[in-house]
Structure 1
Amino acid sequence: MSTISLAPSAAAPRLRITRRGQVVLSVLVAIPLVLGVGAFVLGGGDAVATSSSSSTTFEHVRVQAGDTLWSIAERIAPQSDPRDVVADIIKLNQLGSASIAPNQQLAIPTQYSS
């Protein structure tokens, strides 16, 4: 007859991280930290609130049938480059494109109003 004896299992060896593994682990932890600090330092200054109010003043123009931003720019500021005027109107009104509709009210910077 045969007997089966169970020997107590040896304790599993502890996981050892080699020097190379430590370097890799350190780099993987450091990269997100460095990127986060860099984004905060480089991009965080724009979000600082100021107590001064915006000095941009404007008047309103109602769009007529057949008007385009270009025609409005030429009409309100004939002495200025229409490309600059159109860009300022788009920026001030936060337009996604140059499309406008009749009876739409547009804000015009006062530097272009007469």
Structure 2
Amino acid sequence: MTAITAPMAHRTRLRLTARGRRLLTAVAALPAAIALAFAVVSGGAALATIDDGAPAQSFATVTVSAGDTLWSIAEDIAPTADPRDVVDAIVRLNALDGAQISAGQSLAIPAEYAP
């Protein structure tokens, strides 16, 4: 008896045409183009805040006294505003983890609520 052998499959190489290379390059460059467009549209403001932090004139500071809470400070600095909004702005500006503050601590107050 003779053994029957299967013919070996012919392996073809993947070939990129010029059109395929252009498409691959365009897809790879798309995230960078989107980021650049966002920076141009926003006037570079997003990049400036990452590098420079908040502008110097965008907030005032207040020193926490004994017995002060964020709520009482919010009511003192912005009596006509909703204290919840003021507390939220102070927490975000100072990157606080919660509502815990201590006497002697210096807090940045957003310019819109600054006295």
Q: Which of 23, 27, 30 is the equivalent residue of 2:26?
A: 30
Name the CA shift for 1:113/1:57 in 2 (closer, same or farther; >3 Å).
Answer: closer
Q: Between Structure 1 and Structure 2, how many residues are aligned?
A: 92
Deviation string, structure 1 residues 37-70 (Cα, Å, up to 9, x no partner): 1211213522259xxx6432413121434x4322
Confirm or deny: 8 A CA contact 2:59 2:108 kept in the other structure.
no
CA-based RMSD of the aligned residues comes to 3.1
**Structure 1 unaligned residues grouped into runs of 5+:** 1-14
Match of 2:60 in 1: 58
Name the CA shift for 1:111/1:24 in 2 (closer, same or farther; >3 Å).
Answer: closer
Aligned pairs for 1:7-26 (under 5 A) are 17=15, 21-22=16-17, 23-26=19-22
Structure 1 consecutive aligned stretches of length 4 or more whose deviation exceeds 4 Å: none
| Superposition TM-score, scaled by structure 2 size | 0.56
CA distance in 2, matches of 1:16, 1:107: 60
**Structure 2 unaligned residues grouped into runs of 5+:** 1-12
- Shift in Å, 1:27: 2.6
Structure of larger gyration radius: 1
Match of 1:90 in 2: 91
- Shift in Å, 1:113: 4.9
Higher helix share: 2
CA distance in 2, matches of 1:113, 1:25: 57
Percentage of pairs with the same residue? 33
| Superposition TM-score, scaled by structure 1 size | 0.56
CA distance in 2, matches of 1:101, 1:112: 19
